[in-house]
Amino acid sequence: MKLNVTAFGLTFGVIWGLGLFCLTWWIIAFEGSTGQTNFISSVYRGYNISPVGSLFGLGWGLADGLIGGLIFAWLYNFFAGKFGDSDQ
Protein backbone atom coordinates (compact mmCIF):
# COMPACT_ATOMS: atom_id res chain seq x y z
CA MET A 1 0.00 0.00 0.00
CA LYS A 2 1.40 3.37 -0.98
CA LEU A 3 0.79 6.60 0.90
CA ASN A 4 -0.43 9.82 -0.68
CA VAL A 5 2.64 11.95 -0.01
CA THR A 6 0.89 15.33 -0.19
CA ALA A 7 -2.03 14.30 2.03
CA PHE A 8 0.27 12.71 4.58
CA GLY A 9 2.51 15.77 4.70
CA LEU A 10 -0.39 18.19 5.12
CA THR A 11 -2.04 16.04 7.77
CA PHE A 12 1.15 15.66 9.76
CA GLY A 13 1.86 19.39 9.45
CA VAL A 14 -1.58 20.37 10.72
CA ILE A 15 -1.39 17.91 13.62
CA TRP A 16 2.12 19.06 14.60
CA GLY A 17 1.24 22.76 14.34
CA LEU A 18 -2.02 22.48 16.24
CA GLY A 19 -0.36 20.29 18.85
CA LEU A 20 2.28 22.92 19.53
CA PHE A 21 -0.37 25.66 19.53
CA CYS A 22 -2.55 23.78 22.05
CA LEU A 23 0.44 22.87 24.20
CA THR A 24 1.39 26.53 24.45
CA TRP A 25 -2.12 27.54 25.49
CA TRP A 26 -2.21 24.67 28.00
CA ILE A 27 0.95 26.04 29.62
CA ILE A 28 -0.46 29.59 29.51
CA ALA A 29 -3.66 28.38 31.24
CA PHE A 30 -1.83 26.76 34.14
CA GLU A 31 1.35 28.81 34.52
CA GLY A 32 0.51 32.10 32.81
CA SER A 33 2.11 33.87 29.90
CA THR A 34 5.75 33.92 30.93
CA GLY A 35 7.40 34.86 27.66
CA GLN A 36 10.33 32.71 28.75
CA THR A 37 12.47 30.85 26.30
CA ASN A 38 12.66 27.08 26.50
CA PHE A 39 13.97 24.14 24.48
CA ILE A 40 11.34 24.57 21.77
CA SER A 41 12.27 28.23 21.34
CA SER A 42 15.83 27.18 20.58
CA VAL A 43 14.48 25.15 17.65
CA TYR A 44 11.69 27.46 16.44
CA ARG A 45 12.72 31.11 16.09
CA GLY A 46 10.26 33.56 17.66
CA TYR A 47 8.49 30.94 19.79
CA ASN A 48 7.92 31.51 23.49
CA ILE A 49 5.18 30.90 26.04
CA SER A 50 2.84 33.73 25.04
CA PRO A 51 -0.21 34.21 22.78
CA VAL A 52 1.97 35.59 19.98
CA GLY A 53 4.49 32.81 20.55
CA SER A 54 1.72 30.24 20.10
CA LEU A 55 1.09 31.63 16.60
CA PHE A 56 4.79 31.36 15.80
CA GLY A 57 4.66 27.77 17.07
CA LEU A 58 1.64 27.06 14.88
CA GLY A 59 3.44 28.35 11.79
CA TRP A 60 6.75 26.64 12.50
CA GLY A 61 5.01 23.41 13.50
CA LEU A 62 2.97 23.43 10.30
CA ALA A 63 6.08 23.96 8.16
CA ASP A 64 8.23 21.48 10.08
CA GLY A 65 5.51 18.82 10.19
CA LEU A 66 4.77 19.28 6.49
CA ILE A 67 8.39 18.75 5.50
CA GLY A 68 8.84 15.84 7.91
CA GLY A 69 5.60 14.20 6.76
CA LEU A 70 6.54 14.57 3.10
CA ILE A 71 9.94 13.00 3.67
CA PHE A 72 8.49 10.16 5.76
CA ALA A 73 5.76 9.32 3.23
CA TRP A 74 8.20 9.48 0.31
CA LEU A 75 10.65 7.17 2.09
CA TYR A 76 7.83 4.81 3.04
CA ASN A 77 6.67 4.61 -0.58
CA PHE A 78 10.25 4.14 -1.78
CA PHE A 79 10.96 1.23 0.56
CA ALA A 80 7.47 -0.28 0.17
CA GLY A 81 8.08 -0.40 -3.58
CA LYS A 82 11.50 -2.00 -3.15
CA PHE A 83 10.77 -4.51 -0.42
CA GLY A 84 6.97 -4.78 -0.60
CA ASP A 85 4.99 -7.89 -1.34
CA SER A 86 5.01 -8.49 -5.09
CA ASP A 87 1.79 -10.59 -5.03
CA GLN A 88 -0.46 -7.52 -4.89
CA dihedral (28, 56, 44, 15) positive or negative: positive
pLDDT of residue 34: 78
pLDDT of residue 86: 56
Give the residue ranges of the chain where pLDDT is below 70: 84-88
Domain that holds residue 12: 5-80
Structural domains of the chain, count: 1
In a 13 Å sphere around the CA of 26, the CA atoms on its Cβ side amount to 6
- List for the chain the helix, strand, coil content (%; round to 5): 75, 0, 25
Within a domain: 85: no
pLDDT of residue 41: 84
Within a domain: 34: yes
Within a domain: 86: no
Q: What is d(CA 12, CA 44) in angstroms, rounded to the nearest whole number?
A: 17
Q: What is d(CA 54, CA 29) in angstroms, rounded to the nearest whole number?
A: 13
pLDDT of residue 37: 74
Q: What is d(CA 4, CA 76) in angstroms, rounded to the nearest whole number?
A: 10
pTM score? 0.83
How many helices (H) does the chain have, and how many strands (E)?
3, 0
